[in-house]
Amino acid sequence: MTWQPGHPVRLETERFELRSLTEADATERYLGWLRDPEVMRYVNARREETTRDELRAFILRHDNRNNFLLGIFARPGGVHIGNLSAECHPIHRSAKLGVLIGDRSYWGRRAVLEARSALLDFLFGAAAMEKAWGPCYAHNVPALFNYRMLGFSVEGVQRAHVVCDGARMDVVNFALFRGDWLARRAAGGK
Amino acid sequence: MSAQKDRARTLLAAALGVSPGAIKDGAGVKDFEQWDSLGHMRLVAAIEAEAGMILSAEQILALASFEDVVNILSRTGAE
C-alpha cells in the first residue's frame, strides 16, 4: 500500500474496510457503544458521559503518524462496527494495540482476527514496526482467544493490575514480532 | 476416562453448537468455523460451571482441542 506518515490509512479485507476515523465518525452509534456496559466491560476507560465533542477530540488526537484509530466498516454498506487502535513508538518501533467491537452482532464472527491481520500487515509493513503488543484482562476470553489465534505469545502477567466486575484482575501482555508475523503470512496463516 | 471424554464432547459440542458426533478425537480449534471467540467463551463458561472454579488465563489459552477439554476436566476433578 502507499501511505505517508500523517496521512489517513485505508485498508481492505474480505469483509471490511478499515480507515482512519474523522470527526464525522463521532456518531450517536459510536457514542452508544461507549454507554454499553457489555461493550466497555474490558476497556480501560469509562466513557458513559462522553459527549460528541469529546469523542471528536479523542478521534483527532490520533495523528496517523504514531497514533492510529481505524474504524472497521462492514463491506458492502459501510456500517461502522468497531475500531482498532495502535500507539506506535517511533524509536523502539513497537506498537501497542487496542480493539473495540461495538456492534455486538459482529461478536464471534472473527471480525477481530480479520481486521487485526490487516492492521498487522500495515504496522509491520508500511509503518515499519518490529513488535506489536497488547494488554488483555485475564478473563477477557474473546481477547485471549484472538491474540492466541493470531500467533501472539504471552510476555508476562501483571498481577491484580485492574479492577473488573468489582474485583482485582490480572492483565496478560501479549506480543508478536515482525519476523514471526511475516513467517506466518508466508506459510499461509491469517 | 471414557465418561470424562463423553462429558468433554458434550460440553464442547454445546459450546460450538454442533452435534457431539461431530467432535472427533484429535479435533482442534481449526477444525470448526464455530470455534470462534464466542464459542471459546461459551466453552470456558461451561467448564467453569462444571468445575465450580474460575479458569486462569493460562488455562483458557491452553484450550485448543478436544483433548485439552478432556484434560482440563480431569485436572479440575469435574464429573
Give the pLDDT of chain A (190 residues) as one tens digit per residue: 689 999 999 999 999 999 999 999 999 999 999 999 888 888 866 666 889 999 999 999 999 999 999 999 999 999 999 999 999 999 999 999 999 999 999 998 899 999 999 999 999 999 999 999 999 999 999 999 999 999 999 999 999 999 988 899 999 999 999 999 999 999 987 6
Please choose, from the candidates A175, A164, A167, A168, the residue with its C-alpha nearest in 3D space to the C-alpha of residue A44.
A164
Provide, as residue numbers in chain A, all residues whose Cβ is less than 8 Å from the Cβ of B41: 108, 141-142, 145
User: Quick check: ipTM above 0.95?
Assistant: no
Instruction: Give B29→chain A minimum CA distance, Å.
Output: 9
Are residues A74 and A15 in contact, defined by beta-carbon separation less than 8 angstroms? yes
d(CA A175, CA A151): 9
Three-class secondary structure of residue B67 per DSSP: helix
Farthest CA pair distance, chain A: 46
CB atoms within 10 A of CB A72: 30
Q: Tell me whether B22 touches chain A (CB under 8 Å).
A: no
What's the grid cell of residue B26? 484429535
Minimal Cα–Cα distance from B71 to chain A, Å? 19
Our CA-based measurement puts residue A102 at a distance from the nearest CA of chain B, in whole angstroms, of: 15
* Region B43-65 average pLDDT: 94
Q: Touching check for A110 and chain B: CB below 8 Å? A: yes
Q: Determine how β-strand A80-89 pairs with β-strand A94-101.
A: antiparallel
* Global confidence as pTM: 0.91
Q: From the CB of residue B39, how many other CB atoms can be counted at a distance below 10 Å?
A: 21
